[in-house]
Amino acid sequence: MNRREELDAALAATRGRIEAAARAAGRGPGEITLVVVTKFFPAEDVRLLAGLGVRDVGENRDQEAGAKAAELADLAGLHWHFVGQLQTNKARSVARYADSVHSLDRVRLVRALGTAAAQAGRELGCFVQVDLAPALGQDPDPGRAGASGEEVLRVAEAVAGQEHLRLRGLMAVAPLGVDPAAAFAELARTAERVRREHPAARELSAGMSADLEQAVAAGATHLRVGSAILGSRPPAR
């Protein structure tokens, strides 16, 4: 089996999981966007995925993402999602190629990205990243980003106040050692609080290869799936 065949089979299996999860939740599969996370995999894999109908690609690292976006600029219709932790000094770079940013967790970063998007003449879709650990009785994970408590609302308000940023909703990763269903239920409750002030922020970026079913059940609109489609990640280059 060549690489294209491998990706085709894995995509079909993942889409099948999403369809089954959507049916079980009384939802339509068309409500859910599959974002294929291609961190550490070559641009050629992204090209193959595009040929198989993938339109949403996620990346975690600015340097790698920018290089891939430039190499694949000839592909029409690709939507680039930046899903990794973002530093303010990378905002200008990310604003040049990303269509959506899933990891806004502090007001200072929002302002930097808003300025960068204005300078690039682009509008970016934005998700506020939520640290679910405190609400679930856990200590915050120092290795993971995210706003918590009232800070989520402050970051959302900051995004909404930026002319070149569009608040799409919230993003979260289920904390280690916590039932993903409970984690995503908490995310859904937080999202309802945000929507009282920002009714258009109706999207949820939640769920990865191991827990996409629980995310769909909780209302996820975007699933960030890597290993289930591309296989085990190669070493960082």
Domain that holds residue 81: 3-230
User: Once rounded to an integer, what is the mean pLDDT over residues 107-124?
Assistant: 98
Q: Is 137 part of a structural domain of the chain?
A: yes
User: Once rounded to an integer, what is the mean pLDDT over residues 79-84?
Assistant: 98
Q: Is 14 part of a structural domain of the chain?
A: yes
User: Token pair for residue 59?
Assistant: 């990346």
Q: Is 153 part of a structural domain of the chain?
A: yes
pLDDT at 116 over 90: yes
Q: What is the pLDDT of residue 138?
A: 86
Cα–Cα distance measured from residue 68 to residue 45, given in angstroms and rounded to the nearest whole number: 10
Q: Is 235 part of a structural domain of the chain?
A: no
Ranking 140-149, 150-159, 185-194 by mean pLDDT, the lowest is 140-149
pLDDT at 236 over 70: no
Q: What is the pLDDT of residue 233?
A: 75
Rounded to the nearest 5 degrees, what angle is found at the Cα of 35, between the Cα atoms of 113 and 107? 20
Q: What is the pLDDT of residue 237?
A: 55
pLDDT tens for residues 156-191? 999 999 999 999 999 999 999 899 999 999 999 999
Q: Is 99 left (phi over 0), alpha (psi -120 to 50) or beta?
A: alpha
pLDDT, the chain, mean:
96
pLDDT tens for residues 16-62? 999 999 999 999 999 999 999 999 999 999 999 999 999 999 999 99
Q: What is the pLDDT of residue 137?
A: 87
Q: Is 236 part of a structural domain of the chain?
A: no
User: Once rounded to an integer, what is the mean pLDDT over residues 101-124?
Assistant: 98
Q: What is the pLDDT of residue 139?
A: 78
Cα–Cα distance measured from residue 112 to residue 101, given in angstroms and rounded to the nearest whole number: 13
Q: What is the CATH number for 202?
A: 3.20.20.10
- What's the domain count of the chain? 1
pLDDT at 235 over 70: no
Cα–Cα distance measured from residue 180 to residue 211, given in angstroms and rounded to the nearest whole number: 7
CB atoms under 10 Å from CB of 133, counted, come to: 23
pLDDT at 92 over 70: yes
Q: What is the pLDDT of residue 1?
A: 87
CB atoms under 10 Å from CB of 210, counted, come to: 12
User: pLDDT exceeding 90 applies to what percent of the chain?
Assistant: 92
Q: Is 223 part of a structural domain of the chain?
A: yes
